[in-house]
Structure 1
Amino acid sequence: MGKFEIEVAVCSFLVIIIVLCIRLIFALPSLKHHQIKTSPLKSIEDKNVMVLLGSGGHTGEMIRILSGSNTIPKVHNLHFITSSGDSTSLIHLKKFINETNIETKTESLELPRARKVGEGFVSSIISTVKSILFTFIQFSKLKIKPDVLIVNGPGTSVPICYYFFLLKFLGIGKTKIIYIESLARVNDLSLSGKLCYLISDRFIVQWNKLQKRYPNSECYGIMV
C-alpha cells in the first residue's frame, strides 16, 4: 500500500469517527436541553410500556413504585421482563395484577442474569458477556417495540438499556428509557446507574443530595 492509499485510509477513518461522535452527541439524552418535567410515570397511558422486574429487592421496589402510580392501571399495553429462574418476581407480578385489576395484556420475557451473587470475578465477566449477547438476540426477535422502558437498577437492566440506546443511535428506535435508582442509593449511584446515567431519557433518584451530585437526574422524593 502506497503513501497516498494510507493517507486516504486514515482520512476516511477519521471522517467515520467524527461522524459517529456527532451522531453520539445528538443521540445522548444527557447532552440535550432539559425542560422542567413532571413525574416520569405521568402521560404514558397511551404508550407501549415495558417494565423490568430485576429480582429480589429491585422487584419489590418496582412493584411499590407501580402500585403508587395512578397511571399504570390505565396503560393499554404493559409488558414485564424477568430474569430466567426468577419465580419470586413472577409471584409478585401476579399479586400486583390481581390487586390492581390491570386488564392490559402482560408478557414475561426471561433473560439470563448478568451475574449471580457470590460469583467469582472471571466467571462474572463471562456471565455478563453471555447475558449481553443473549439479551441483544432476544430483543432483536421481539415484535413489540416499547415506547417507554422502565428499569430500577438490577444488573440485567444495563444490556437492555444499551440495546434500546443502540437502536436509537442507529436511527431505528425511539424507546425512551426511564431509569429509577434504588432507594438504597443515598450518597452515590449504583454501578448500573452509572452505566445508564448518560443514555437514560429520564434518570430518577430518590434523595435530593444525590440529585445535586448528578445534575441530569431528577428527584421527586421517595417513590417506594
Structure 2
Amino acid sequence: MVLVNLETYFCTLVVLISIPILVLLLRIIHTLPSLHLPPSIRTQPHGKPLSQLPDGSRRIAIFLGSGGHTGEMIKMISKLSLARLDRTWIISNGDSSSLQQAKFIESQVYRAHQGGTNVMYKRIPRARNVGQSYFKSVFTTVYSFAVSSITLLFNRPDILLLNGPGTCVPIAYIYFVYKVLGLSSTRIIYIESLARVDKLSLSGRLILPIADRFIVQWDQLYQQYNRAEYYGILI
C-alpha cells in the first residue's frame, strides 16, 4: 500500500512538473523568431528599408554601446524619424560619452517635438569590460542580466534597437523573456557592426535566434545567414 501511494505521488509530481515545462517550451517555439522566417525576406532579397519601422510603433529603446558602437548607432538613427516616438536611451554604467551624445541629440534634434513625447535614460551594468576574460565575463553578464531585468521591468518599448557590444545581449534576452511570458511585445532589431565583414560578432551570434530583424552591412554576411537583411552600408 505504501509503495502504491509513493508511485501515485511520484507520477502526480511528474505530471505537475511536466505540464508547465511543456507549455513553456511550446510558448518559446511559438515566440522564437528564428523558427519563423518572415515572408518578406523570402520574396525580397534585401529585406525592408530600416526607415520603415513597424506600424503602430509609439515607443522605442535605443542601446548605445559606447565608442564605435555608439558612433555607428548615432549615424544610423539620424536617418530615422523618431521625433514623435517615446524614446528610452539605454547606456552602460560609466559611459558618460554616450550619455552626453544622447542628451545632445535630444536637445538639438528632437527639441521641437519634446511636448508630445517622453524621454528616459536608463543605466545598466556592463556585461563585459574591455579586455576582460570570457570566464570572468560569465559572472558579470549574469549580474548585468539580474540588475537590468529590474531596471527595464516597467519600460517595455515597441522596438528595441541594438548594434552591440556584449552588454546588449542581456538586454535582448530580457525583452525576449518578457515576450515569452506575455509581458511585452517588443520587436528586437539588431544591426551588426560595419566592422564585421566576413564573420558575425559574438553578440550577433547570440542575438540572431531571438532577433525579429537582423541586419548586416556586408553582402558576405547576408549570403551566410538566411534570416539576415542587407541593403548596403547604413552609416
TM-score, normalised to structure 2's length?
0.84
Contact 1:51 1:80 in 2 (8 A): yes
Q: Larger Cα Rg: Structure 1 or Structure 2?
A: 2
The answer to whether the aligner puts 1:83 opposite 2:96 as a matched pair is: no
User: In the aligned structure 2, how far is the partner of 1:193 from the partner of 1:78?
Assistant: 23
Moved more, 36-45 or 162-171: 36-45
- Structure 1 residue 133: deviation in Å? 0.7
Task: From 120, 126, 139, give the equivalent of 1:126.
Answer: 139
The answer to whether the aligner puts 1:39 opposite 2:49 as a matched pair is: yes
> Quick one: which amino acid aligns to residue 7 of structure 2?
K
Contact 1:114 1:127 in 2 (8 A): yes
> Quick one: which amino acid aligns to residue 18 of structure 1?
L
- Structure 1 residue 189: deviation in Å? 1.3
Aligned-residue CA RMSD in angstroms?
Answer: 2.1
- After TM superposition, the structure 1 = structure 2 runs for residues 56-205 of structure 1, keeping only pairs within 5 Å, are 56-67=67-78, 69-72=79-82, 74-102=83-111, 103-104=113-114, 105-140=118-153, 142=154, 144-205=155-216
User: In the aligned structure 2, how far is the partner of 1:218 from the partner of 1:46?
Assistant: 20
Determine helix, strand or coil for the equivalent of 2:232: coil
Contact 2:92 2:125 in 1 (8 A): yes
Moved more, 38-47 or 186-195: 38-47
Q: 1:19 to 1:61 in 2, by over 3 A?
A: same
- Structure 1 residue 40: deviation in Å? 3.1
Percent identical residues:
40
Q: Give the unaligned 5+ runs of structure 2.
A: 41-46
User: In the aligned structure 1, how far is the partner of 2:80 from the partner of 2:148?
Assistant: 31
Aligned to 1:7: 11
Q: How many residue pairs align between the two structures?
A: 220
User: In the aligned structure 1, how far is the partner of 2:60 from the partner of 2:84?
Assistant: 8
Contact 1:50 1:149 in 2 (8 A): yes
Residues 12-42 of structure 1: per-residue CA shift (max 9 Å, x gap): 4343333222111101112124122522332
User: In the aligned structure 2, how far is the partner of 1:152 from the partner of 1:120?
Assistant: 21
Q: 1:162 to 1:70 in 2, by over 3 A?
A: closer
The answer to whether the aligner puts 1:25 opposite 2:36 as a matched pair is: no
Residues 168-223 of structure 1: per-residue CA shift (max 9 Å, x gap): 10112111111111111111211111111111111111112212211111112111
Residues 56-85 of structure 1: per-residue CA shift (max 9 Å, x gap): 111011001112x1423x333122111111
Determine helix, strand or coil for the equivalent of 1:182: coil
Residues 135-170 of structure 1: per-residue CA shift (max 9 Å, x gap): 111112x3x321111011121111111111111101
Q: Give the unaligned 5+ runs of structure 1.
A: none
Determine helix, strand or coil for the equivalent of 1:82: strand
